[in-house]
Amino acid sequence: MAEEQIDMVLTPDLEITENNSEKWMYQSQAIAATMSNRMEKLGMTQRALAEKMNCTQQYVSKVLKGRENLSLETLCKIENALGIKILQAGINK
Q: Domain-by-domain residue ranges, the chain? A: 2-82
Contact status, residue 53 vs residue 61, Cβ threshold 8 Å: no
Q: Is the pLDDT of residue 4 over 90?
A: no
Q: Is 38 exposed, middle or buried (0-12, 13-18, 19+ CB in 10 A)?
A: middle
Q: Is the pLDDT of residue 3 over 70?
A: no
Region 2-82: CATH code = 1.10.260.40
pLDDT at 22: 77
pTM (two decimals): 0.72
Residue 37 per-residue DSSP state: H
pLDDT, greater one: 11 or 46: 46
Q: Is the pLDDT of residue 63 over 80?
A: yes
